Amino acid sequence: MEMFGENGRDGVWTVMANVMDPESLNQAFNGCVGVFHTSSLIDPGGISGYTKHMAILEARAAEQVVEACVRTESVRKCVFTSSLLACVWRQSYPHHRRRFPAIIDESCWSDESFCRDNKLWFALGKTMAEKAAWRAARGRDLKLVTICPALVTGPGFRRRNSTPSIAYLKGAHAMLAEGLLATADVERVAEAHVRVYEAMSGGGAAGGRYICYDHVVRRGEEFAELQRQLGLPITGVAAASRPGYSDDGDVGGDGRFALCNGKLARLVSSRRRCTYDVYYPASYD
C-alpha cells in the first residue's frame, strides 16, 4: 500500500473482511476476477504458535473463502496458499525396503491422523484447510490452484519472532533427518503465485497443486541458523541418534525422501520465455 500511496489510487485499496462472515467476504470479492487466499491464523500471544483449535478454524475459513468465491459472480479464479507441510507428514516406511529416496511431490498428502497423534497442529491445519478448499471448489464454476510453500524467509525474517514460522518448525528435526526441511524466499513465493494465476487464464496449463521451495536444509548448522534468525533457543540435531545423519551433520542414508518442485519450475520457466513478460528490479530496505 505504501507503493501506491493514498487508498484507492491506481485501483488499489484495502478492504476489511471477516473470513468467517460469508456476506463480508462477498462484499470484499465483488468486482474481483481472482482471489489469492494467503491467510494464516497465529497465536496473538506468541506463546503456543498454533493450536488444534486454530487448525479447525483455518479449515473452516478456507471453506468459507472458496464458497464466497463461488457465490461471487465476478470471481473465476482462486490461488490458495497451502504449505509444504500439507505434503510431507506421514508414517515412515522401513528404510531397508527403499533403494532410492522416495519422491515427495504434488501428489503427496500429509496424514491427518499422524499429525494429530504427534500434535503437529500447523501441519494439520494446512492439510485440513487445503482439502476443505478442494472439496468446496469441486464441481463448481471456479478454477482453483493451490501452492504449497516451504518455510518462508526473506526481508525482515531476522527481525521477527514469527509464530507461524515457529509453528512450522515443530518436528523440524525429523524433517531434517528425512531431507524434507526446506525454505522458500518470499519473493519466489510471490512470483509463483503470480505465474500460476497468469497461467490459469482461458485454457491455461496451470492446475492442481504446486510445491514451492528454493533450498533444502541439509546440515545441522543451517538448522541452527534458522533457529537463531527466529530468536529460538538453538538445539542440537542429535545426529548420532537419528537415522539419516552422517557423523559430519549432513543428511544422508537410505531413508531420505527427496522433494520435487519440477511442476512449478516448468511452469515458471515457460512463462519467462514469453516475450511480453517484463521484469523490473526491486530493492528492499
For residue range 222-246, what is the model confidence (pLDDT) as tens digits?
A: 999 888 877 777 765 543 333 333 3
Question: What does the alpha-carbon distance between residue 275 and residue 264 come to, in Å, rounded to a whole number?
Answer: 20
Range in 68-72, 147-151, 200-204, 267-271 the model is least confident about? 200-204
Tell me which H or E stretch contains 126.
helix 121-137
Of 90, 83, 81, 86, whose CA–CA distance to 257 is shortest?
90
Provide the annotated active-site residues. Answer: 126
pLDDT of residue 226: 85
For residue 166 the three cell numbers come to 515457529
Question: What does the alpha-carbon distance between residue 153 and residue 138 come to, in Å, rounded to a whole number?
Answer: 32
Does residue 272 carry a pLDDT above 70?
no
Please give the radius of gyration of the chain, using alpha carbons only, rounded to the nearest integer: 20
**Is 31-235+254-267 a CATH 3.40.50.720 domain?**
yes
For residue range 183-224, what is the model confidence (pLDDT) as tens digits?
A: 999 999 999 999 999 999 866 678 999 999 999 999 999 999
Instruction: Return the domain boundaries, the chain.
Output: 31-235+254-267
pTM tops 0.85: no
How many helices and strands, by DSSP H and E, does the chain display? 10, 9
